[in-house]
C-alpha cells in the first residue's frame, strides 16, 4: 500500500514539474508565472481540485512517443474565488510551448462541459504556441471542439480569457468567442498572422508587440477588454471582476453585504453639469457617486472613451452601467462606442444583470469617416441591444439627449422601465443653433430675429419638462439624490417579468 501511495506522490511531483525546472526558470526569467502558480493566485487558497493530471498525448509521429509528459501542457480543474465555484484551465508553456494537442483539447472541453452542466463560469489562462504542429489535423479538430463549446457556453456561463503569453493563429478564436479578454502588458500578444509571415507576404515590418500586444488590443482593435502590468495584477483584477458576475444564466447576480446606505446624497452632483452646455464634465464622477462604495469595474477603459461601460453594485447587487462621457468627443456616439456599448448591454442581458444608462449625448458623430465606417449599422447594434434587453433598465438623462442618439440610449419607448432626467436635461431633435438654422433659414441674415427664435426654442425644448409633460420621463429628479432614486427604481424592478414573442433568434446587425 505504501508503495502505491509513494508512487502516486512521485507521479504527482513529476506532473507538477511540467516541462522541467529549466523551462520553469526560463518562464520566470521572462517575468511570467507558471500555470500552477497562476492558478494558485487566481483561486482561493487550497480550493483547487485538479482533473486529468496524468493525461498524456497519444501521438507518435516525429518521435513524440518518446516524450509524453503528464498533463500534456494544460492544467485543468475547478476551485473557488471568494467562495464561489469556478472552472479553470491554464496552459503550461513549459510543455511543448503550451501547444494544443488532441488530448490537451479534450482536457479543456471536459471542464467547459462541466462548467455548463454545473452552472459556473470558466476562466482560461492562455499561454500557448497554438496547434501542436506534430499532431496536424488532430490538433485542429481539438481546437474546433474548444470553439464549439465556447459557442455553446456563450450566454450560459460567463467565459473569461486571460492572455498571459502567445496566442497566435486560429488559436485566438477561442478567447475571441468568450465574454471578456484581458492581457498582460509586454508578455502577451494575439494575432492571426505573425510578424514573420507578414513580412514575407505583405512586406510589412512590425514587432509582435505592435501587431498584437496589450496596447494594440485595448486601444486600437478593441479585441481585449483590459490590460495589466503583470500576471499578479491581472489575476487579482480577474478575481475582482468575478465578484460582480453571476455564476450562470440560471443564477441571480451575486449579493454582498453593503455598508453604504442607498439614502446617501451627494450635493456636489447639483453642480456637476456646467452652466455652459458646451463645457464637458466627467461622467465617471456620477458613476462612482451612484455606486456602492464608489466601486466601478470598467470594461474597455482605453477604447471608445466617449462611452463608459462597466459594473457597479447598488445595495450590494451588481448593475451594469452604460454612460456617455462628455469629456471625449463631447459624448457623441460613433461606431466604436456603439459596438462597445452594444456588446456590453448584450452581456448584461444574457446574464440578467440590470442596466443603468446615464445619458449626455449630442448625437452621432457626423462625417464621412463615420459614414464610411458603417456607423449606421454599428449604431444599430447598440439600439438593437437595448431594444432586445429584458433586464431592468433605468435611465437618467443628465444633459443632452438629442436626435437619434436619444432614441438609442435606452429611452422609454425602447423598453426602459424607469426614466429620470435632471433639471439640466435637454431632450430635443437637435441643439438650438442647428434647429433655428433649419426652421428659420430665410431669416439667417437678421441676428435679432434669430436670437429670439433661439431663445424660444431653448425655452420650449432644451429642458426636461416637455418630455416630462408627455410621460417620456417618469420624473425630474434632483442630481444630489440620483443614487437614492436609482437604487429605489432597481428595487422596484427586481421582480420584472418581460414577455417577448417566440423566435429562434433575432438578426443583430453584425
Ligand atoms: C509544438 C511548439 C509549438 C507548437 C512552440 N512549441 N509552439 N511545439 N507545436 N505549435 C515548442 C517549441 O518547439 C519549444 O520546444 C517550446 O515550445 C518553446 O518554444 P520556443 O520557440 O523556444 O519559445 P519562444 O521563443 O518563446 O517562441 C514562442 C512562439 C514560437 C512564438 C510561440 O514557439 C512559435 O512561433 N511557435 C509556433 C507558433 C505557431 O505558428 N503555431 C501555430 C499557429 S496556427 P522546446 O522543446 O525547444 O522547448 C494555429 C492554428 C489553430 O494554432 C487553428 C485552429 C482552428
Q: Predicted confidence band at 492 (pLDDT cuts at 50, 70, 90)? A: very high
Q: Please report which confidence band the pLDDT of residue 195 belongs to, taking 50, 70 and 90 as the band edges.
A: very high
Domain 267-425+464-494 = CATH 3.90.226.10: yes
Can you state the percent helix, strand and coil of the chain, rounding each to 5? 45, 20, 35
Among protein residues, the one with the nearest Cα to ligand 1's atom 6 is: 97
18 is catalytic: no
Q: What is the 3-state secondary structure (H, E, C) of 36-70?
A: HHHHHHHCCCCCCEEECCCCCCCCCHHHHHHCCCC
Question: Domain limits of the chain?
Answer: 2-242, 267-425+464-494, 431-462
Architecture of domain 2-242: Alpha-Beta Complex (3.90)
**Residue nearest ligand 1's atom 36 by CA:** 129
Residue 63 CA to ligand 1 centre (angstroms): 17
CA of 100 to the centre of ligand 1 (A): 10
Mark whether 405 is an active-site residue. Answer: yes
Q: Which helix (H) or strand (E) holds 308?
A: strand 307-314
* pLDDT at 431 > cutoff 90: no
Answer whether 2-242 and 267-425+464-494 agree in fold.
Answer: yes
Q: Cβ distance 405 to 362 under 8 Å?
A: yes
Ligand 1, atom 30: closest residue by C-alpha = 129
What predicted TM-score, i.e. pTM, was given to this entire model? Answer: 0.96
170 noted as active-site residue: yes
Question: From the CB of 342, is ligand 1 less than 6 Å away?
Answer: no
DSSP 182-237: EEETTT-EEESS-HHHHHHHH-----HHHHHSHHIIIIIS---SEEESSHHHHHHH
The pLDDT value given to residue 2: 83
**Mean pLDDT over residues 56-72, rounded?**
94
The predicted pLDDT at position 459 comes to: 87
Does ligand 1 have an atom closer than 6 angstroms to the CB of 212? Answer: no
The Cα 108–Cα 100 span in angstroms is 10
In tens, the pLDDT along 351-405 reads: 999 999 999 999 999 999 999 999 999 999 999 999 999 999 999 999 999 999 9
What's the alpha-carbon Rg for the chain, to the nearest Å?
26
Q: Which residues pair with 463 in a beta bridge?
A: none
Q: How far is the CA of 19 from the centre of ligand 1 (A)?
A: 14
Residue 99 Cα to ligand 1 middle (Å): 6
Ligand 1 contact via 95 beta carbon (within 6 Å): no
For residue 1, pLDDT beyond 80: no
Q: What is the structure's pLDDT at 432?
A: 87
pLDDT at 499: 85
DSSP for 459-507, please give it.
HHHSSSHHHHHTTSSSEE--GGGHHHHHHHHHHHGGG--------S---
CA of 300 to the centre of ligand 1 (A): 29
With a 6 Å cutoff on the Cβ, whether 191 touches ligand 1 is no
Task: State percent of the chain over pLDDT 90.
Answer: 93
Q: In this predicted structure, which of 289-303, 411-425, 455-469 has the lowest mean pLDDT?
A: 455-469
Amino acid at each position: 500500500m505504501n508503495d502505491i501511495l509513494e508512487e502516486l506522490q512521485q507521479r504527482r511531483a513529476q506532473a507538477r514539474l511540467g516541462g522541467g525546472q529549466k523551462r520553469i526558470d526560463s518562464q520566470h526569467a521572462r517575468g511570467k508565472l507558471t500555470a500552477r502558480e497562476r492558478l494558485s493566485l487566481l483561486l482561493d487558497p487550497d480550493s483547487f481540485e485538479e482533473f486529468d493530471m496524468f493525461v498524456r498525448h497519444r501521438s507518435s509521429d516525429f518521435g513524440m512517443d518518446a516524450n509524453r509528459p503528464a498533463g500534456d501542457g494544460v492544467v485543468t480543474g475547478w476551485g473557488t474565488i471568494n467562495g464561489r465555484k469556478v472552472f479553470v484551465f491554464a496552459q503550461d508553456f513549459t510543455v511543448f510551448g503550451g501547444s494544443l494537442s488532441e488530448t490537451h483539447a479534450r482536457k479543456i472541453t471536459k471542464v467547459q462541459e462541466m462548467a455548463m452542466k454545473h452552472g459556473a463560469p470558466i476562466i482560461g489562462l492562455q499561454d500557448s504556441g497554438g496547434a501542436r504542429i506534430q499532431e496536424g489535423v488532430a490538433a485542429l479538430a481539438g481546437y474546433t471542439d474548444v470553439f464549439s463549446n465556447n459557442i455553446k457556453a456563450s450566454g450560459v456561463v460567463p467565459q473569461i480569457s486571460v492572455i498571459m503569453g502567445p496566442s497566435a493563429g486560429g488559436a485566438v478564436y477561442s478567447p475571441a468567442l468568450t465574454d471578456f479578454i484581458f492581457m498582460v502588458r509586454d508578455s502577451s500578444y494575439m494575432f492571426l498572422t505573425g510578424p514573420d509571415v507578414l513580412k514575407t507576404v505583405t512586406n510589412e515590418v512590425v514587432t509582435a508587440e505592435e501587431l498584437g500586444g496589450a496596447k494594440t488590443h485595448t486601444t486600437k482593435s478593441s479585441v481585449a477588454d483590459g490590460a495589466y502590468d503583470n500576471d499578479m495584477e491581472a489575476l487579482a483584477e480577474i478575481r475582482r471582476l468575478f465578484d460582480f458576475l453571476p455564476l450562470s444564466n440560471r443564477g441571480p447576480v451575486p449579493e454582498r453585504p453593503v455598508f453604504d446606505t442607498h439614502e446617501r446624497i451627494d450635493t456636489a452632483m447639483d453642480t456637476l453639469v456646467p452652466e455652459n452646455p458646451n463645457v464637458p464634465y466627467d461622467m465617471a464622477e456620477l458613476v462612482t457617486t451612484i455606486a456602492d462604495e464608489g466601486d466601478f469595474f470598467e470594461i474597455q477603459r482605453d477604447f471608445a472613451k466617449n462611452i463608459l461601460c462597466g459594473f457597479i453594485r447598488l445595495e450590494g447587487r451588481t448593475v451594469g452601467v452604460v454612460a456617455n462621457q462628455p469629456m471625449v468627443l463631447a459624448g457623441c456616439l460613433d461606431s466604436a462606442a456603439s459596438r462597445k456599448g452594444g456588446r456590453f448591454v448584450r452581456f448584461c442581458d444574457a446574464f440578467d444583470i440590470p442596466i443603468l444608462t446615464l445619458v449626455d449625448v449630442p448625437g452621432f458623430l457626423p462625417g464621412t469617416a463615420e459614414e464610411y465606417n458603417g456607423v449606421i449599422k454599428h449604431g444599430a447594434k447598440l439600439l438593437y441591444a437595448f431594444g432586445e434587453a429584458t433586464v431592468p433598465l433605468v435611465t437618467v438623462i443628465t444633459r443632452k439627449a438629442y436626435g437619434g442618439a436619444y432614441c438609442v440610449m435606452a429611452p422609454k419607448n425602447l423598453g426602459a422601465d424607469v426614466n429620470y432626467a435632471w433639471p439640466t436635461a435637454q431632450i430635443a431633435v437637435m441643439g438650438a443653433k442647428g434647429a433655428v438654422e433649419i426652421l428659420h433659414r430665410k431669416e439667417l441674415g437678421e441676428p435679432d430675429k434669430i436670437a429670439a427664435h433661439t431663445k424660444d426654442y431653448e425655452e420650449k425644448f432644451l429642458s426636461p419638462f416637455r418630455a416630462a409633460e408627455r410621460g417620456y420621463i417618469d420624473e425630474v429628479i434632483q442630481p444630489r439624490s440620483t443614487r437614492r432614486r436609482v437604487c429605489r427604481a432597481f428595487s422596484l424592478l427586481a421582480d420584472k417579468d418581460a414577455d417577448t414573442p417566440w423566435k429562434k433568434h433575432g438578426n443583430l446587425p453584425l
